Structure 1
């Protein structure tokens, strides 16, 4: 049986609707997203708006957004920020705010609390920051995440640059460890789940 390998390419603005819907599906059962949007129906309908706002108004301009496809739509996506560019500018925050409000509504305060704690824990040393990675559950296990990780980590190694992420699901920690990431601590959300910060030295 012939299997089509996912192809990774840089994302464009035209990819934002598809990649945001893919990430919305990918993070539907995520513990942090369940904490932010506890209503399952609201999460199903609104979560893609979060990823659309973040991609369009921050990550895309940094040049680190990639999508994985088998030629029939976006099966997976990764939102990376280059060294020294992980912080949102004030203008980016203002531009993203309408989309975030549409996504979270009354739960917006939880999103802000999570962001503040993540910023406090974020390392200062220059690094590539993997803010988000996910694949459509329909293609999970078919190499989309692996292709996306390898694409950027190969560049990290070529540039001899470290990489950093926060795993919002503890079950995914062993997966990231296979790529060389190591646990550096914990970020516990108020009355909520725990994020696991992870750091990878270049190889």
Structure 2
């Protein structure tokens, strides 16, 4: 059995286990902490985290791709959530899809502060950033876009090569198929991951910030989170040496 055979396409039945994987993986992540730091009760905070990941999973199982490696009794070793070039046209952001995924329940559970952070802060920021980059930077226009929404592993899985397996599976079966013209896009909330993603052909594009970084004595994870936008060119080609967005308008 090849290592790619370990990859499982997740179904709705897998959502609870996959959500627990992501919750454990991102428990100390600055963005994840920022979204729920207003919730002081640990149990309620955990439940809100789970609702968020479950909603993302259902949404992308319906209109994207969700993958898992190493199914365990309570979770998976590794889980990845991707949107695909047809996701928008297929209705990934439609009211029906969002309600079926559980975003209505997430809204109710989040409370006013959580609603502002998640629904008025994070989701529009991530959507608008990617839309602007892909629409205005001619290096990436008219290409199919695969967006890595989440990629997380539990502690016991690290060092097993699961991240490489996820990327190789996606490159072989979707992103780098013959005669395709696809790019891959992600927003990482950990600078430690930049060199890891570099290994798979991603290059840093820009930083974006959610929250108030300029606040006096601002603390990352409590007041703000920084996300590193990274993009992989078609078939892993390095796009960083090509014309910049500013110079493109002068060509």
Normalising to structure 1: TM-score of the pair? 0.87
Aligned equivalents of 2:105, 2:25: Cα separation in 1: 19
Other-structure match for 2:176: 157
Residue among 110, 114, 117 paired with 1:110? 117
Measured after TM superposition, the shift of residue 199 of structure 1 is 0.7
Bigger shift: residues 191-200 or 72-81: 72-81
Aligned equivalents of 1:31, 1:140: Cα separation in 2: 20
> Contact (CA 8 Å) 2:82, 2:147: kept in 1 or not?
yes
| Compared CA separation, residues 97 and 63, structure 1 to 2 (3 A) | closer
Aligned equivalents of 1:104, 1:148: Cα separation in 2: 31
Deviations along 1:65-115, one digit per CA (max 9) or x if unpaired, are 111116765211111111141551122233432342366334121112111
Measured after TM superposition, the shift of residue 118 of structure 1 is 1.1
Measured after TM superposition, the shift of residue 150 of structure 1 is 1.7
Normalising to structure 2: TM-score of the pair? 0.71
Aligned equivalents of 1:142, 1:48: Cα separation in 2: 25
Q: Secondary structure at the match of 2:126?
A: helix
Aligned equivalents of 2:67, 2:13: Cα separation in 1: 12
Other-structure match for 1:54: 56
Other-structure match for 1:199: 231
Aligned equivalents of 1:178, 1:153: Cα separation in 2: 13
Other-structure match for 1:24: 23
- Consecutive unaligned residues in structure 2, runs of 5 or more: 136-140, 213-223, 236-251
Aligned equivalents of 1:6, 1:76: Cα separation in 2: 14
| Equivalent residues, number | 199
Matches within 5 A, 1:153-192: 153-154=171-172, 155-158=174-177, 159-191=180-212, 192=224
Matches within 5 A, 1:78-93: 78-86=80-88, 88-93=93-98
Aligned equivalents of 1:70, 1:94: Cα separation in 2: 27
Measured after TM superposition, the shift of residue 43 of structure 1 is 3.8
Deviations along 1:16-73, one digit per CA (max 9) or x if unpaired, are 11111111111111110111112572444431221111211x1001241111116765
| Compared CA separation, residues 21 and 60, structure 1 to 2 (3 A) | same
Bigger shift: residues 103-112 or 144-153: 103-112
Question: Please, what is the CA RMSD of the aligned residues?
Answer: 2.3
Aligned equivalents of 1:176, 1:65: Cα separation in 2: 19
Aligned equivalents of 2:84, 2:12: Cα separation in 1: 18
Query: Who wins on radius of gyration, i.e. which is larger?
Result: 2
> Contact (CA 8 Å) 1:28, 1:44: kept in 2 or not?
no
Aligned equivalents of 1:104, 1:170: Cα separation in 2: 27
User: Does 1:147 find its partner at 2:147?
Assistant: no
